Amino acid sequence: MTAVPIVSAPVVYKPADYRSDLKPIWCPGCGDFGVLAAIQQALAAVQVNPKDLAVVSGIGCSSRLPGFLQVYGLHTVHGRSLPAAIGLKIARPDLTVLAVGGDGDFFSIGLGHLPHAARRDLDITVIVMDNAIYGLTKGQTSPTSPRGHVTKSTPYGQSAQPLHPLAIVLASGASFVARGFSSQPKQLAELIKAGIEHRGFAFIHVLSPCVTFYDTYKLYKELVYDLPPTHDPSNLDAAMHYAVESERLPLGIFYRRPPLEPLPRPTPQPFDTQAYLNRFRA
Amino acid sequence: MIRKEDVVIRVAGESGDGSSATGEMLAQAAARSGLHVFTFRTTPAEIKGGPVMFQVRASNSPVRSMGDAVDVLFAFNREAWDLHYADLAPNAVLLYDPEEFALPTSFTGVAYPVPIGKIAQEAGNRRGKNVVALGVVAALFGLGLNKLEEIVRAKLGKKTELLDSNLAALRAGIAYAQQLDKRDPFWMEATGEHERYVMTGNQAIIAGALHAGVEFFAGYPITPASDIMEGMAVMLPQIGGGYLQAEDEMAAIMACIGASYGGKRAMTATSGPGLSLMSEAIGYASMTEIPVVIVDAQRGGPSTGLPTKMEQSDLHLALYGSHGDSPRIVLAPASVAECFHLTVWAFNLAEQYQTPVIVLSDYSLSFRTETVEPFDLSRYPRIDRLRPAGPLAPKQYRRYELTANLISPMVAPGVAYAQYTATGLEHNEAGSPDYTPHNHARMTEKRWGKLAPLQHSHAYVRRFGAERAKVGIICWGTTAGPCRGAVYLAGQEDLPVAMLQVQMLSPLPVDAINEFLNQVDIVLVPEVNFQGQFARLLQAELGIKVHSLTKYTGLPFSRLEILRQIHALYGMAEPVVV
């Protein structure tokens, strides 16, 4: 289980202690800078030792993030961060595990893994930096681009509708679902902190604009609003209602319930090869 | 009549009528009475219906192949006869149910009518046909008769009522056989009990992995590898390991890579379609130098192909699958015992060389049972991945340090001051992305160069047959079994044949192969695929010309098929079946 001294621990790690020497390769003004800063803030808030922290990613601009942190990083192949994170978490439950990446990674090539990761409800925090465009490959449409979106790969407009990522994870059994905005780093850091502290599968959808290929800063600033204080995060129906809202973009914790209790398992014993082989005696 | 102490018995019927359960119990009874057994089976790819057969070869001497022809056919129905009569040896024995079909006039051997349905019914167990058959065969040919009851008890004895009716059927079958006028030469005299195991290839792979200290398994169901996953599902929680049935094969191998990055010995098992899906991740593990063991139980391909037949056609995929120059180690067991042996070494090699290791089994090996001599467990050291020598100072650790043998220290998360990111991007010694020409060249050389010493190893070849010969066989995987049989038969004719079984297909042990090439004039390479994938590999790597002998029917070679080719290479007439 994640070791998270929350209140009483003295502050040892400052946000800067989680940064590596590598300079981010992102374009100036990229939303991912705000996400990186918010992650550092959240890590310092929970005071996790960097040596006990693993950050797993796939491929894309945002998936370069682990290298910019002074943590154990696993920069995997396109779309496969979640299974790698799950394998690592099962093998090393003592580690704090984050999975990070973009909308291409989590909602297109790797979408097949998302519902399964959610229903397993392992203690993993997922941070999706969604810019609704393929940035690293220089400007193709993504699964969260709006209908009619004109890009290099959809010169006559994207004919498909965008998917609702929060609805997908809610329907799959995620126990913590939230949305933040890279331009509101304080709120985002709070959401990430809450996600890390949550002992089940925490999914944080982050609106993180691409300044180069699809600049949505102005649009998002008009569309975002905080979930009303009356919203009850334990109410799945209400969470689902907000999750499919597309006229405006609510921010905050959509849904939170206690994580699944583990099922009983045999008490581990040392393995004895000879005793095992004796089962096969002729 | 000269007694024959090596018999191939095939029990054939309809899926669901118990012919495969009969075969399993027969094999176990024979093994328990001290005989060597080697089984072979085919099943339909569908869950219910369709013809099935189970074959047991039993002998007083060790057996290494399924045999050349069927000595005894037990045909439960007419279709079983139609499907299998072509495989009968001259002077074969036929057991058939006269209520199902009349004795075919074309059959000239010894025939015993066995009304199994009627006998079962009279014993008060209408559904006990398979147990009746078991009793008949064991009593008629001397296959562990006195061990049968305990085996039936163990296999079918969960409910007393069921057990009683099955024992009644068994005894009725034995009684029926004992009143028959025995007119065939097959009689196995048990040599007494020995400490041996009766295992399938998949069971030996599980045992090998457990002995090697597997700590994590992730897989996705696929024939014929699923029971490796199921075995791990039972065992890993008992020993404190991690287990995952993943949503697909890409997830399965990525979970293994995640676990191995976390410092645990990790493994997955699949078949050809799954290995195809894993190919990208294999390149990632190769690039990031993360140990992982992948079992590929090959079946007939391409595509869905023949899910319940064997083929050795994934060699190219195992050797080359994944983009870029992505080194890996490929091992291939030939027998159940080698499944254990090479699975243990697969883990050790993966850890020692920090690279993916693929173990190429196949359908025939996955499910066949063999008697196996006890393993000398002291022969298997545990080799772990290299770790930093002591505590690390800040900025000291370099994950991909260019050491003398090109193997770098690998930490697991939790070690202070050693944080690094394992990236599939080309990286420098510190692990940071670095695409400069010089760096890509030297890191490519590192990843390949660390495996180069294995080319000089003699630990992954097995040498059989004559020391020098005109004809030498080089083979891999389960084809080594019938090759050894052919070498033995050739020896009976005073025909010298040399044989080299190659257990490591990547890196190829070129020293050992070159030594062998100096001892033979003509190289014969039998394998079960159309392209002659191994023959091509040998020709490309060693610059030699070989005689490729391919078979692509979904079935393994028999000894005779290989002996026939040996005769041809010696300019001799076709071998005569005895």
Considering chain B, what percentage of its residues have pLDDT values greater than 70? 98
- Chain A interface, best mutation among B247, B288, B400, by max A CB count within 10 A: B247
pLDDT of B156 reads 76
- Chain B interface, best mutation among A74, A94, A109, by max B CB count within 10 A: A74
Three-class DSSP category at B523: strand
Are B258 and A88 within 8 A, CB to CB?
yes
Q: Which of A49-63, B144-158, B444-458, B459-473 has the lowest mean pLDDT?
A: B144-158
With an 8 Å Cβ cutoff, is B25 touching chain A? Answer: no
**Chains A, B: CB contacts under 8 A, how many?**
175
Which residues 341-380 on chain B approach chain A with CB closer than 8 angstroms?
371-372, 374-375, 377
pLDDT of B43 reads 75
pLDDT of B188 reads 86
With an 8 Å Cβ cutoff, is A253 touching chain B? Answer: no
Q: Mean of the pLDDT values across residues B208-231?
A: 98
List all residues 6 or more positions away from B543 whose beta carbon is below 8 Å from its beta carbon: none
- Chain B interface, best mutation among A36, A71, A88, by max B CB count within 10 A: A88
The answer to whether residue B559 scores a pLDDT higher than 70 is yes
Find chain B residues with C-beta within 8 A of A264's C-beta.
none
Q: Which of A232, A147, A21, A272 is nearest to B207 (CA)?
A: A272
- Read out DSSP for A123-160? SEEEEEEE-SEETTTTSEE-TTSPTT---SS-TT---S
List all residues 6 or more positions away from A245 whose beta carbon is below 8 Å from its beta carbon: none
Which residues 39-68 on chain B approach chain A with CB closer than 8 angstroms?
none
Which residues 143-202 on chain B approach chain A with CB closer than 8 angstroms?
193-199
Find chain B residues with C-beta within 8 A of A116's C-beta.
246-247, 251
* pLDDT tens-place string over residues A93-130: 999 999 999 999 999 999 999 999 999 999 999 999 99
Q: Mean of the pLDDT values across residues B501-513?
A: 98
Q: Mean of the pLDDT values across residues B62-74?
A: 91
Confidence of residue A1 (pLDDT cuts 50, 70, 90): very low
Distance from CA of A250 to the nearest CA of B (A): 31
Alpha-carbon distance of B119 to B229, in angstroms, equals 40
Backbone angles phi, psi at B350, to 5 degrees: -60, -45
Alpha-carbon distance of B418 to B415, in angstroms, equals 6
With an 8 Å Cβ cutoff, is B424 touching chain A? Answer: yes
pLDDT of B195 reads 86
Backbone angles phi, psi at B197, to 5 degrees: -105, 150
Alpha-carbon distance of B298 to B314, in angstroms, equals 7
With an 8 Å Cβ cutoff, is B239 touching chain A? Answer: yes
Find chain A residues with C-beta within 8 A of B371's C-beta.
282
Are B239 and A268 within 8 A, CB to CB?
yes
The rounded mean pLDDT for chain A is 96
Neighbours of B441 (CB within 10 A): 10
Are B242 and A94 within 8 A, CB to CB?
no
Q: Which residues pair with B462 in a beta bridge?
A: B501
With an 8 Å Cβ cutoff, is A264 touching chain B? Answer: no
Chain A residue closest in CA terms to B197 = A281
The answer to whether residue A12 scores a pLDDT higher than 80 is yes
Confidence of residue A5 (pLDDT cuts 50, 70, 90): very low
Three-class DSSP category at B444: helix
Q: Mean of the pLDDT values across residues B488-497?
A: 94
Are A74 and B215 within 8 A, CB to CB?
no
Higher pLDDT residue, A68 or B11? A68
Amino acid at B213: G
Q: Mean of the pLDDT values across residues B264-272?
A: 98
Place of tokens 């100072």: B393
Q: Mean of the pLDDT values across residues A47-61?
A: 97
Pick A282's closest partner by Cβ from B196, B210, B432. Answer: B196
pLDDT of B578 reads 53
Are A84 and B32 within 8 A, CB to CB?
no
- Chain B interface, best mutation among A53, A78, A86, by max B CB count within 10 A: A86
* pLDDT tens-place string over residues A138-159: 999 999 999 999 999 999 999 9
The answer to whether residue B347 scores a pLDDT higher than 50 is yes
Higher pLDDT residue, B278 or B153? B278
The rounded mean pLDDT for chain B is 94
* pLDDT tens-place string over residues B28-41: 889 988 899 999 88
Q: Mean of the pLDDT values across residues B538-542?
A: 97
Q: Which of A126-140, B8-22, B562-576 has the lowest mean pLDDT?
A: B8-22
Question: Is omega for the bond preceding B507 within 30 degrees of 0, making it cis?
Answer: yes
Distances from the Cα of A216 to the Cαs of A30, A110, A247, B42, B286, in angstroms?
11, 24, 15, 60, 39
pLDDT of B356 reads 98
pLDDT of B577 reads 60
The answer to whether residue A256 scores a pLDDT higher than 60 is yes
The answer to whether residue B398 scores a pLDDT higher than 70 is yes
Q: Mean of the pLDDT values across residues B320-326?
A: 97
Alpha-carbon distance of B564 to A58, in angstroms, equals 54
